[in-house]
Structure 1
Amino acid sequence: MGKATASPSAPSPRVGYTYSSAPIRARTPPRPSPVPSLKNVYDGTAVLDEDGRAVVELPEWFESLNESFRYQLTAIGAPAPELHVSRPLADHTFAIAGGGPGLGVCWQVTGVRCDHWARAHPLTPEEEKPPAQKGRFLHPELLGHPSDRSLSPYGRARLPAGPRAMEG
């Protein structure tokens, strides 16, 4: 198999979960969305070789921290209806095939975290707020509420409006 370039990006510490899309409901605190488990997302680009193939190399530790892999491939610059993962993840690499020579491919691999911390702290999609927190928000001003509705007993510090706010 010819040589292909691939460039994985570093995983984001927040990847795999997003905060609730219903923050207006003041009875529940923002929690990760109903995702069954913590996930890591890795992505990058590859250029297919003269045989229409590429091998993507991930960090050596990738498989020891993740399981249940999912793949996404997107051809760049030309249609590639035959584009596919030709070899699933093994020894921290996976293979892509089915495109023309020189075709750019955006790829993404999602893995469910299987490290000790992730197993000990599973996601809780939504839980009831304690009575003292009902009607309060992390950032009430973003929802049109006054800052005294903050979950923090001191409210939230406001950032300066711009460069002029720093003057005099």
Structure 2
Amino acid sequence: MEDHKKFRLLVKAIYRLLLSLFGLFAVMVFTLLFIMYNPDLFKKADLNVGEEKQYVAVTDEEDFDKIENGIHLRTGLVDAEGLMTVVNNCTNCHSAKLVTQNRMNKERWVSTIRWMQETQNLWDLGPNEEVIVNYLVTNYPPSKKGRREILKDIEWYVLK
């Protein structure tokens, strides 16, 4: 009787192993087919960053830096003078959203750049620093409003 239980456990283990291997094989086949029928998905765009080159996957080279309604679609940044300098220098390390949510004046942007250079290994921006700071100060200045405006003229009532 004991041998029968061991045999059944062994059969179950082999069955699970074979099922797992079949699942893995199926995923590999579907992945291979997907890659074969979508070759443009893995084109590479060359982003020059100083001496280094960075490669990113793009779906369509024509749409890579497309601007629509004054917005750079890939990053969401405003289309203005200095946009591509900001894209090429800032979005290599972090999201453009980090740039747009941190609205600062010129002194604070310069201070933030110095902090990134001292602690985050940001390279020397050279003449690009002025272009970047001017773009950021012009297009993402500090906002006077907080999260929402103060409520005014509210007629309050007591809940019963």
Same fold? TM cut 0.5: no
Structure (1 or 2) with the greater helix fraction = 2
Give the alignment's TM-score, normalised by structure 1: 0.22
Bigger relative contact order, structure 1 or 2, given CA contacts below 8 A and separation 6+? 1
TM-score with structure 2 length normalisation? 0.22
Looking at CA atoms only, which structure, 1 or 2, has the larger radius of gyration?
2
